[in-house]
Amino acid sequence: MVVPGDFYPRPGFSCRCRYLYVCLLAFVATQLLIFGAIFHRKCSYISWLWRGCAVRKSQCPMISPHLIGGFEVETHVPAWQTIIDNYPMLQNGGRYQPPDCEARHRVALIIPFRDRDIHLKIFLNNIHAFLMRQQLDYGIFVIDLEEGIPFNRALLLNVGFLEANKVHDYQCYIFHDVDLLPENDHNTYSCPEQPRHMSVAIDKMNYRLPYMTIFGGVSAMTREQMLTVNGYPNKFFGWGGEDDEMYNRIKFHNMTVTRYTGDVGRYKMLAHRREQGNPNRFALIKSEKKHYHQDGLSSLIYDVTKREKRRLYTYIRVAVDRKQLATS
């Protein structure tokens, strides 16, 4: 039987509700404070409760205080272990992040490679110190082709771009020949609003720009710029021509090639045997004007045959079907 009084709270019930309500509000407020602390510390809830969490690092200064300007590069050939011992702060794969601040630039160095171990040793021994002084969040990727496939610098740069994208959220891509060593660390390895040609003044060319449309040696582009121009062409097997074609792609999309002044963009070129130029490069450059949207990142097909995160760099070797690329 239902008694009319049962529809109303009994004495003491209202007090208990208010007590529980206040406790609930206190719990919610506490959780908000905790999550606010977690947000600023950038760590998980469990990590914050049990281990504590370091306060978020401040952003690195616009100009690194570690820069020294012009310097003499080291051209002796060190042993691999010596280079590794010189850079104990590196992560596997040639990754580095400044320990005391948050880097302003996330940069991938893409190195097209073929049978130049001596150059690679000298390059790595110099470039890691250079990049660390610039307080960059960077990784180095050395991209190689299987034996028997003619060298193709542009294709390897495309592969490096795609593979680096898979491992980190890079903003900037430096396409870098292994025989060029920067001589001034004010030559910042970052990407401006327009593509940048960086190796402006090379010692073997009397520190002069050989011609105004050059975009080879060392150059910098953002992810968006690379995607806009569809990357480099894939058909330039042999030496030469691919950088001129990239310059044409940049101009076609109404972008401008920027450069540092010659006293900043200085490089030393390591001695090497001059390779025979691709005899078809001029015809390829002419034909690519009509097919840039078909030949590039969008048409690249390759197989990774070897991938190793070595201490000083990430090594990637690929195989491609040359005939398939020729018809794409």
Residues involved in catalysis: 177, 179, 239, 242-243, 269, 272, 274
Report helix, strand or coil for 106.
strand
Give the long-range contacts of residues 25-29, CB within 8 A, separation 24 or more. none
Angle value at C-alpha 234, between 169 and 327, nearest 5 degrees = 130
Report helix, strand or coil for 80.
helix
Pairing of β 266-269 and β 180-182: antiparallel
Compute the chain's Rg from CA coordinates.
Answer: 27
Cβ atoms of residues 262 and 201 within 8 Å: yes
Report helix, strand or coil for 173.
strand
Nearest 5°: phi and psi at 135?
A: 55, 50
What's the rounded Cα separation, in Å, for the pair 120 and 112?
11
Q: In angstroms, what CA-CA distances link 293 with 171, 196, 242, 245, 289?
A: 23, 22, 15, 12, 9
Pairing of β 303-309 and β 314-319: antiparallel
Helix axes 281-291, 242-252, angle to 10 degrees: 30
